[in-house]
């Protein structure tokens, strides 16, 4: 792959203002990190040196790692009775291993996300996979309940952050103009994991024993970790810029190290002590001065984002929609057995329609997001004024899908209660998967657009809200069905989708004003620091 010149201050200053502000954010000040602007969203050809196929490979590799978090949560569920019997504890005690898993699933990405934004993606991936692999081995060998409880927390800590790292990788290499298609790939693990996890877990628990669930997860994680170490490059723009800046040896893949070694042998030149040698294609040495200033590690950045006006509305509503589909999937096993008298194996197969709807939506609606972005971009360039309406470009695609999800989830509940033909149930599940994943993709793309440079922290904020609301939804769905019946229980979720939907209208209407106000606060703080302040970054600047 041919390398282009690293981005420098001169190149950044040459970018037209209309391009550098395409996401409606503050223009990049040369002395500040790119996280304060839409600098990460330029449509310039030089934004990333990776080819389209290289981008797809990188994003798919990151998405494969992100599959472990939801898969680990759901693959364990069919084995609860066997675990309780083997360790001689009650089901209530075993359920505590699920609760603590979800708590750490919400908290840990807040730390790892901020670490990845400041120290790079590959170190964060390394920490996550090592912790996750060791925790799975420990769970497989756990001699008692107490050990399993602690090790499940570590398992969650290792797996949960891979989702936010995946979103961060997309933000590093993909512009807003093409982000819709790539975000579609990254959102699939969060919904496919709950679909395939119970099927695989049930088979393993029945035929090999529950401990083999953790052995399988450890084996898969080792394979993915090895592939990532060998081929998944560092993408953090504070370290590699547009991808053309050679990172230090510790950040290089095994493939890159092998190429460097081969090139040195051919040229007969020793490695430089500072790790700044050029590549085998004559790429320039690493130039730290050409990179934006690194972000300071701030573990509270994800929490701060929760209290920003625009982010709080997006995250809260997204969590409610996500909770609805999780509640439906959590209740499917018992309800489909009760209504249709299906076996465990047949119930597992009925997770395929919702998975199919998700897959179709990922392809179709990802392209729709890119098309709508380009449409708004042309209109914005022709008008020549105002902020780019990034909220409209994303949510105009997502809003109809919320309406579809609202109707599908309410109708699905009544179809189950009335014992409608199984084909009807399958069609409604496919429509629910199509609607939810499509809206989810629009939301993820917008959240990334609004937080360039802080993509991992923003994804962690999204993870926090979803885990908390999703935990509540899965905990109350069975009592709610018992009290109100299947039909009214899921009508309630559909009603929540509809009643809370005006929050998206507020975002489309006021998003530009909120962004301008935030940019102004940052500008004032920079001026105070430049005029002799203490130089500390306040919470609002994160």
Q: Collect all residues with Cβ–Cβ distance below 8 Å to 527 and sequence separation of at least 6.
A: none
505-541: pLDDT as tens digits: 999 988 888 888 877 887 887 788 777 654 444 444 4
Closest CA to 308 of 74, 22, 522: 522
Per-residue pLDDT at 32: 35
Which domains does the chain show, CATH number per domain?
45-236+299-526 (1.20.1250.20)
Per-residue pLDDT at 291: 53
Question: CA Rg, the chain, in Å?
Answer: 24
Q: Which tokens go with 167?
A: 């979103």
Q: How far apart are CA 169 and CA 217, in angstroms?
A: 23
DSSP 272: P
pTM: 0.70
Q: How far apart are CA 485 and CA 489, in angstroms?
A: 6
Question: DSSP assignment of 376-423, as one string?
Answer: HHHHHHHH--S---HHHHHHHHHHHHHHHHHHHHHHHHHHHHHT--HH
Q: How far apart are CA 536 and CA 517, in angstroms?
A: 20
Q: How far apart are CA 238 and CA 295, in angstroms?
A: 8
pLDDT, mean of residues 276-291: 45
Closest CA to 165 of 457, 453, 366: 457
Q: How far apart are CA 456 and CA 164, in angstroms?
A: 5
Q: How confident is the model at residue 297 (pLDDT cuts 50, 70, 90)?
A: low
Whether the CA torsion 110, 116, 121, 127 is positive or negative: it is negative
439-465: pLDDT as tens digits: 988 898 888 888 876 777 787 888 788
| CA distance between the termini of the chain | 35
Distances (CA, A) of 394 to 187, 188, 375: 15, 18, 11
Give the total residue count for the chain.
542
Per-residue pLDDT at 41: 43
Contact 182, 59 (CB under 8 A): yes
160-210: pLDDT as tens digits: 888 888 888 888 888 877 877 777 677 767 667 766 787 788 788 878 888
């Amino acid at each position: 792959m041919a390398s282009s010149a690293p981005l420098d201050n001169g190149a950044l200053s040459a970018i037209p203002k209309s391009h550098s502000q395409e996401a409606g954010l503050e223009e990049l000040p040369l002395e500040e990190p790119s996280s304060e602007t839409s600098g990460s969203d330029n449509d310039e050809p030089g934004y990333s040196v990776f080819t389209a196929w290289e981008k797809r490979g990188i994003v798919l590799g990151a998405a494969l790692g992100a599959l472990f978090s939801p898969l680990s949560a759901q693959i364990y569920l069919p084995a609860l009775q066997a675990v309780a019997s083997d360790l001689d504890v009650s089901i209530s005690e075993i359920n505590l291993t699920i609760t603590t898993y979800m708590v750490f699933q919400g908290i840990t990405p807040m730390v790892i996300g901020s670490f990845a934004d400041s120290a790079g993606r590959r170190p964060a991936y390394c920490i996550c996979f090592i912790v996750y692999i060791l925790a799975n081995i420990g769970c497989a060998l756990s001699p008692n309940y107490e050990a399993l409880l602690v090790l499940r927390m570590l398992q969650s800590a290792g797996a949960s952050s891979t989702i936010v790292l995946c979103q961060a990788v997309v933000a590093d290499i993909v512009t807003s103009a093409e982000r819709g298609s790539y975000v579609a790939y990254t959102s699939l693990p969060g919904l496919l994991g709950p679909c395939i996890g119970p099927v695989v877990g049930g088979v393993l628990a029945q035929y090999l024993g529950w401990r083999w669930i953790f052995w399988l997860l450890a084996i898969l994680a080792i394979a993915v970790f090895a592939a990532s170490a060998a081929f998944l490059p560092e993408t953090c723009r504070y370290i590699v810029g547009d991808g053309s800046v050679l990172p230090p040896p510790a950040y290089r893949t095994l493939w890159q190290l092998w190429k460097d070694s081969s090139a040195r042998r051919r040229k007969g030149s020793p490695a430089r002590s500072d790790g700044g040698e050029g590549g085998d294609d004559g790429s320039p040495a690493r130039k730290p001065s050409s990179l934006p200033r690194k972000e300071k590690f701030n573990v509270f950045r994800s929490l701060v984002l929760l209290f920003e006006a625009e982010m709080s509305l997006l995250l809260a509503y997204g969590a409610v929609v996500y909770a609805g589909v999780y509640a439906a999937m959590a209740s499917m096993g018992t309800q489909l057995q009760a209504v249709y008298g299906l076996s465990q194996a047949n119930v597992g197969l009925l997770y395929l329609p919702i998975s199919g709807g998700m897959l179709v939506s990922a392809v179709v609606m990802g392209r729709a997001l890119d098309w709508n972005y380009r449409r708004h971009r042309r209109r914005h360039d022709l008008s020549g004024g105002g902020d780019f309406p990034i909220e409209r470009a994303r949510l105009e695609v997502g809003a109809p899908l919320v309406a579809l999800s609202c109707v599908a989830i309410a109708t699905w509940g009544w179809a189950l209660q009335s014992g409608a033909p199984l084909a009807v149930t399958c069609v409604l599940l496919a429509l629910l998967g199509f609607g939810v994943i499509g809206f989810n993709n629009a939301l993820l793309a917008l959240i990334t657009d609004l937080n360039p440079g802080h993509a991992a922290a923003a994804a962690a904020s999204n993870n926090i809200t979803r885990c908390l609301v999703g935990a509540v939804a899965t905990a109350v769905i069975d009592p709610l069905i018992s009290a109100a019946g299947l039909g009214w229980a899921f009508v309630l979720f559909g009603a929540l989708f509809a009643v809370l939907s005006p929050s998206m209208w507020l975002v489309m209407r006021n998003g530009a004003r909120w962004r301008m106000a935030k940019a102004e606060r940052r500008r004032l703080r920079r001026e105070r620091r430049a005029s002799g302040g203490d130089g500390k970054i306040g919470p609002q600047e994160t």
